[in-house]
Chains A and B, each alone.
Chain A
Amino acid sequence: MTTPRSKRFTQTNLEDYLACAYRYWLAHVQEVRCPAPEVEPLTDWEVQTRRGSRFHRMAEQVVAGVRADLLDPKDDAILAEWWARFKRDAMRGLPTTRYAEVSLSVPFGGLRLAAKLDLLAVEAGKRLVIVDYKTNKKASPKSLRGRLQTQIYRYVVARAGSAFTGGVEVKPEHVEMRYWFAADERPSVRLVYSQAEFEADEAELTALVERLRAQTTFPKTDDVSRCGFCTYRSVCDRGQAGWVEEHDAEPVVGWGGEREGLFGDVE
């Protein structure tokens, strides 16, 4: 088997595949967990991911009807700063019909191509704005346009977004991706979509998935600088954990989508 056990192509598994075929195979085909530190210092990483996760949950609470000021964090000054910024401008200019933590997917390459969005703001027949909250300072605005995340999210929303418009047709021109930065004052990055980009994304993603499916072996990457942020580095006997300041991953957010993450085995 070469495809993900989850039967879904996602930003995460395709990014892993591009970074290192062996990492992809271990993490997504074999679903092997490796309990090594992702980065060091572990405590800083933990604080950062927990803060990011809590921020995303607070944003979801607002969409569910909780007043934002009721959520003002009193126990974390950095989060309070992020939250003040959120209240000031995260929702500015967005259509008022909003869905938090939505999961969309389309049949693709024999499986499904899936996107899990922080927020989708909808004005049927006019605009569908995908909002992604970035809580990591490392995310560079310039690199965002070329990100696999941008490609997949806009493409999937263009194809499947009519689930949120009451069936009104969605054209690529209606779709916009907006990266909003919690950790500093950078303005949002807005990436409007087009038919040409849609077609190019479809071709690129198709080629990527075909390449993946045709793969018979999953070699380790030659770029060992990537191994510092890979928990499988000890499996490959490659180096030590990288530093948190150099890591650009976003925290994995519990409670959302299929509502699996946070609750673990709660039944």
Chain B
Amino acid sequence: MGQALVEGDEMGWSEGQTRLIEHGRGGLWVRGVAGAGKTTAAVERVRRLLGRGVAGHTVMICTPQRLLSRPYRGFVGGAERVMGSDPQFMTFGRLTQYGVGLYWPWVAEAAGLPTGVQPTFLDAESAQWLMGLVVAPQMAQAGIFQTVKLPRARIYGQVLDNMNKAALVGFDVHTIGERLSRAWSGEVSQLRMYEDVQTAADLFRAYCLETGALDYSLTVELFLRHVWPLPAARAHFEAMARHMIYDNCEEDAPAAHHVFAELVGTCESAVVMLDDEANYRRFLGADEQSAAGVLAEACDESLVLEPYGDVEARRALVGHFAVSFGFERGELPEADPFVGVERLSARLFPDMLDRVAERVAAWVKDDGVPVNEIALVSPYVSDGLLFAMRYRLERMGIETRSLRPSRMLRQEPVVRCLVTLAYLAHPAWGIVPTVEDIGHVLVTVIEGLDPVRAALLASVSRKRFSPFETLVAAMQERVTLALGERYERLRRWVEAYQQGEPIALDHFFSRVYAEVLSRRGFRMHGDFEMAQAVAALVDSAASYRLMMAALPMEVDSAVLYLEGLSSGLLGQRSLSEPDVLEGAGVLIAPAYTFLMANQFVTHQVWLDAGSGGWTERLAQPLAHPYVLSAQWEDGRVWTGIDEGLSAAQGAYRLIAGLLRRCRGTVVLASSEYGEQGMPQQGVLLNAFGRIVRRVAKREGRKTDGV
């Protein structure tokens, strides 16, 4: 690979950044840790490419997930960009689905899939649900997974994860069980589970091939086998990628690296960037070693960007953590690693939250720090933690926003209410809601109705909507005529509905919302937050219905959907706040989600720093991100040493990633007892304690422990 020296730019770009921005023909391989300015320079590169007349539709900006393309989208959507066609934003998932859809007639024929029908792409939720339908009979008859004590959604989810890895890593989907078994050294009973995993994967794949239902793994396989080799398809994609930016390639899997590397080889210019010490999506098949091999090889030149504006102390603390987790030996950084680091400890979890709120308030109110410059991160953000933290901050007049991957629809009160209404309106389904459920409906939807009177109305209506006029006069008076009239509007709507033919469930939700629940006199009138939840429910039910209609399944779609919703197999739609990263407020997020959003802030609080969650791998007894990766030597046994090393590496990278995204103060906040009341002393605090002792020893001081 060639090296070229370029003078620094008058705009303040470093020499390395200037080289990235002005890179000419061929591929440039760039690596550096977070904060080195790679993305900032790449956005500038896009600006200059378009500015000098490169057509936008020939520029492809690839990222492993949509969130990571945010800086590019900000520029592309802005008024400062020159006129022209828009660049293409691409993820590997999007590319494969687009390609398979576009060239479907050829794909279906070549793969022996049903021709003459449209492909049915399954999202994660639909795939999980369909797998349940296909595998459940085997669970009942052959007893598969009978030894697994996990919710069904998690069983199916892990089988699908394994299938996705087969496609993304490039091994046969029928060898998942063997691979997992060969690496297993524990109790023999686990081997039966791996056999069951394979049975489920085989059954599901056979079903998909028979019906043309395409889950992510099959879509990727079809793309690689039947779309990518097509000359017409290749020409089409190459025309879309005359100039490429591929950012955060370490968060993609080997299949993506191979495809994008081939595009790098044919485009006029490409800049491919890797974040060192990241690879946070390993559990989804992300593989930095594959990236560094395949993509670096496809490029003609290479460049390493050093972090700029990186304070010596921060670098020192990252170095100390590396030593604490056993990754580096030798000279320790000289600088004081504790500059800009605070410890905040409390006995009980709520006390810790109180103290965190006070610290945040001091930043905002005393120091004038903008709320957007503060992030509170934790390994997990439960509903309870989110509510408790929000309540404390908002009581102090401090806005908050949250970034969480997804939330179950069934947890929304308004969704529960609409489900009960659906049962009430369809007595033929034979499911009679409880008095409590009806009371919940009434108090949720009728403006002005309190829980006591709602319970009263529900109890006298004897599990059905009795007419208000049939209630005794004293009861009518207690409820009041005004509220009784609202109750009657809803009751009459349901009654009228029952006179006609039943309609699709999503249509039912949509109509009852539009014709009653969002009208004046009902709580949903003008409540846009509730509207969002209903919209998500309507979308989920509609997409389920359309999927079922496209597949040869003779089942009562509506009742099954509602069962799936209540069991948690369906309805996992994201209800995230729109544009949460654009909004104002202290950000509350799970640590990995924060890293994958690539946010840089002035101050961070690490909530619940004593929790074991900072270092624990996601519990996946039926899957394995390391064994089912391209780097694993098939047949090797996964040992406790491997487990310890991977946990330490994961923890170090998480901590280093967070530290590099903090410009000011990091607060390690912990409590002796955690959210669930258990004593807390996780690996993160132990590692920090070792650093404190090491530094004290170097300086000849004594410590009282941490």
Residues of A near any B CB (own CB < 8 A):
5-8, 30-37, 42-43, 54, 57, 60-61, 64-67, 70-71, 74-75, 99, 102-108, 110-112, 114, 159-160, 162-164, 167, 231, 233-235, 237, 240-241, 255, 257-260, 262-267
Contact = CB atoms under 8 A, between A and B. Distances in A.
Contact of B528 (A5, A32, A70): A32
A187 B86 CA distance: 31
A52 to B, nearest CB: 14
A24 to B, nearest CB: 15
Contacts of B91: 266-267
A264 to B, nearest CB: 7
A72 B519 CA distance: 45
Nearest to A107: B79
A264 B406 CA distance: 14
B86 A104 contact: yes
Counting chain B CB atoms within 10 Å of each CB, the highest count among A6, A54, A107, A163 belongs to A163
Nearest 4 pairs of A and B residues by beta carbon = A36-B514, A65-B232, A106-B83, A70-B105
Given A57-B101, A104-B86, A241-B514, A42 B55 contact: no
22 contacts: A34-B518, A35-B510, A35-B514, A36-B518, A42-B507, A43-B504, A43-B507, A54-B118, A57-B101, A61-B104, A71-B105, A104-B85, A107-B80, A160-B84, A160-B85, A234-B518, A235-B525, A258-B86, A262-B97, A266-B94, A266-B97, A267-B94
A167 B105 CA distance: 35
Given A57-B101, A65-B233, A234-B519, A35 B85 contact: no
Nearest to A156: B83
Size bin of chain B's contact surface:
35 or more
A59 to B, nearest CB: 12
B88 A259 contact: yes
A37 B510 contact: yes
Nearest to B109: A70
Contacts of B528: 30, 32
B85 A164 contact: yes
Interface string B520-563: 10000110100110110110000000000000000000000000
Nearest to B55: A163
A57 B82 CA distance: 29
A145 to B, nearest CB: 24
B57 interface: yes
A42 B503 contact: yes
B54 to A, nearest CB: 9
Interface in B51-76: 53, 55-57, 64-66
Interface string B497-519: 00000011001011101110011
Contact of B55 (A36, A61, A164, A237): A164
Contact of A265 (B57, B102, B123): B123
Contacts of A267: 64-66, 91, 93-94
A163 B235 contact: no
Given A237-B519, A265-B574, A64 B55 contact: no
Contacts of A65: 232-233, 235-236
A114 B86 CA distance: 9
Contacts of B94: 259, 263, 266-267
B480 to A, nearest CB: 22
Interface of B: 53, 55-57, 64-66, 77-86, 88-91, 93-94, 97-98, 101-106, 116-118, 121, 123, 216, 232-233, 235-236, 503-504, 507, 509-511, 513-515, 518-520, 525-526, 528, 531-532, 534-535, 537-538, 574, 578-579
Counting chain B CB atoms within 10 Å of each CB, the highest count among A167, A234, A255 belongs to A234
Given A66-B232, A103-B85, 11 more contacts: A31-B578, A35-B509, A35-B538, A61-B103, A61-B104, A61-B105, A66-B105, A112-B77, A255-B102, A259-B98, A262-B97
Contacts of A74: 116
A190 to B, nearest CB: 23
B514 A64 contact: no
Nearest to B78: A7
A233 B123 contact: no
A34 B123 contact: no
A258 B503 contact: no
B579 A237 contact: no
A258 B73 CA distance: 11
Given A111-B79, A160-B85, A264 B123 contact: yes
Contacts of A71: 105
B514 A259 contact: no
B98 A255 contact: yes
Contacts of A37: 507, 510-511, 514
B79 A237 contact: no
A79 B681 CA distance: 65
B531 A34 contact: yes
Contact of B535 (A33, A99, A111, A233): A33
Contacts of A34: 518, 531, 535
A10 B91 CA distance: 25
Contact of B84 (A31, A66, A99, A104): A104
B525 A103 contact: no
Contacts of B526: 235
A5 to B, nearest CB: 7
Nearest to A116: B86
A261 B24 CA distance: 33
A103 B59 CA distance: 13
